[in-house]
Amino acid sequence: MALYFVTGSTHKLAEIKAIIPTIEQLEIELPEIQALDPHKVLAAKLAEARTYAQGSFIVEDTSLYIDGMNGLPGPYIKSFFEALGVEGLAKLGSFYGGKATAKTLIGYSSEEGSVEFFEGAISGTLVEPRGDETFGWNSIFVPDGFDKTFSELGFEEKNKISMRAEAAQKLKAYLEK
């Protein structure tokens, strides 16, 4: 039976496919509840995905947590990004000292409907935009231990260290059991 990644993002699909090559894309628009806990958001999306096809599914939520903002924007990053843009997010981060943590939570639903979660996280600093601005806030996030933004690192190097890669590696290990 197929393992589907429910996403419309070619960038996210490429990152997951680099780790789990057999995954298939299921490009459907799922309603997304709003909640500060990404587990609740993903559980609702997985339940909805099961109404579209048979198989196993993954959905993911990548959140950005700015230190000093008590868990914000977190899962609300998409709304913050739409309202402020990449430059506004950089300014907001700077106002709060620049430190942030990026987290990806992957929700997995088996064919039988059991749900598991896999998380990856990386700390870093928010800076003025540098590099390609075509993929979310990658141009303003410099991971700790690096002097380049995710955008400047490029696909290969970013996918070795990113929060999404870490979560996908955990999912891969689980699936291989």
**Each residue of 56-110: pLDDT tens digit?**
999 999 999 999 999 899 999 999 999 999 999 999 999 999 999 999 999 999 9
pLDDT at 132: 80
Give the predicted TM-score (pTM) of the model.
0.93
- Is the predicted pLDDT of residue 37 greater than 80, yes or no? yes
Domains of the chain: 3-176 (3.90.950.10)
Crossing angle of the two packed helices 163-176 and 10-17, in degrees rounded to 10: 50
As a 3-state breakdown, the chain gives helix, strand, coil percent values, each rounded to 5, of: 40, 25, 35
In sequence order, the 6+-apart residues with CB closer than 8 A to the CB of 80 are 72, 73, 89, 92
List, in sequence order, the alpha helices (H) in 107-162.
Answer: 150-161
pLDDT at 103: 97
pLDDT at 20: 96
Q: How far is CA 41 from CA 7, 14, 45, 53, 110, in A?
A: 14, 23, 6, 20, 17
Are the beta carbons of 113 and 107 closer than 8 angstroms?
Answer: no
